[in-house]
A and B are shown apart, each in its own frame.
Chain A
């Protein structure tokens, strides 16, 4: 678990990061704290864990890997997010390219930090 203001969770900016590689996910969370120092960051390493967090909490933004490990697992996280009331524009999918992704979901290539930072800024405006 990361973040500086636990008590602000459900109130202010809260971001869920989903990736099946724990090491890369921890680095992602550290990067996210550098980019959004006041956000409350939570992480999940699989679809089930992400779905449970999404059901239990209100997130401002969900960022998920597309392949976890099979291609398309990120779509299951997206479905859970939409079912819980999150708008598609508050979801960012990390992948080079995908099938069956709604137009309103932002797609960012996993290594493209500048594009990711811009997408986060746009989603949280």
Chain B
């Protein structure tokens, strides 16, 4: 475990150096431990792949006290329960009309479209981080055979619900936005709805499975094309 002062009101803790379910489970366990130990001095937390950014109130406490308490709390961190978190099923309509890069990605990988779909929907993913935009969940790890680098020129407009791959990460775009990931399908489930409770179907630490659906099912579930 490494701990550093990150700014006037923040420290960052590293619980590993690479993306793995074990490190992610430790990050999750650290979220719970830090929340308990800092109580009202804690302002916000940003868990990510291998780190936890801890934001505190610098007018109530200081980095020495926070570092000391966090170190003590994490020393006794139990080997986290890797099965914690829920499993969420997200339906996906995989097709060239819903995923503009599906054909190119398959061709580059030397696979058929059906094989790409089978590989993408055949793995269970973990929610490693949420950020970039409200509700944008970084899921990993994608099978190496369908990993693909970001587009050289990002698109100005990626539609809401787009299911995409970048390197060994995959995600569902929560809102229409610019983006450089490879689009392979469309998910009708809203990933971020400020008026819904909960606002997101997934949390960091949850597991996600993608379930292939056809065009008709996609439209029935409220999906939109175009």
The yes or no verdict on A and B being binding partners is no
B interface residues (Cβ-Cβ under 8 A, vs A): none
